[in-house]
């Protein structure tokens, strides 16, 4: 699938919803809980894969610098985000500068 900045994607196996903050220029296989995410979240009877059940956290960003993708979780769920079978890690917060 081709991702666009600002697009919203929903999991087909749990409540997870994300918004695209940064999109790669190539097509990606965005998944949650081991199954493809869709714009409407419609399910095809798929169930959460236990191998991909670490969960997502509302308000957190998930990113992979190498792939050039960043997602903001707008609704948490039990499934974990992946691109294909590659986990999409939680983005670390930037350290604030020290003040004198």
Tell me which residue range forms the domain holding 78: 8-43+51-86
72 within domain boundaries: yes
Question: What pLDDT digit, counting tens, does each position of 8-34 carry?
Answer: 999 999 999 999 999 999 999 999 999
For residue 41, what are its two tokens? Answer: 């979240």
Show the beta-strand stretches assigned E in the chain: 8-10, 17-22, 30-32, 35-36, 61-64, 69-75, 81-83, 86-87
92 within domain boundaries: no
Asked if 48 and 34 count as a contact pair (C-beta separation under 8 A), the reply is yes
pTM of the model: 0.89
Number of domains the chain is built from: 1
pLDDT at 93 over 90: no
37 within domain boundaries: yes
Question: What pLDDT digit, counting tens, does each position of 42-67 carry?
Answer: 777 789 999 999 999 999 999 999 99
């Amino acid at each position: 699938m081709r991702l666009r900045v600002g697009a919203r994607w929903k999991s087909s196996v749990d409540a997870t919803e994300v918004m695209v903050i940064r999109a790669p220029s190539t097509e990606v296989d965005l998944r949650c809980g081991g199954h493809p995410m869709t714009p409407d979240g419609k399910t095809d009877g798929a169930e959460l894969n236990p191998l991909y059940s670490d969960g997502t956290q509302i308000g957190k960003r998930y990113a992979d610098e190498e792939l050039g993708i960043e997602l903001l979780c707008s609704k948490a769920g039990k499934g974990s985000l992946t691109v294909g079978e590659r986990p999409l890690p939680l983005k670390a917060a930037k350290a604030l500068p020290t003040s004198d």
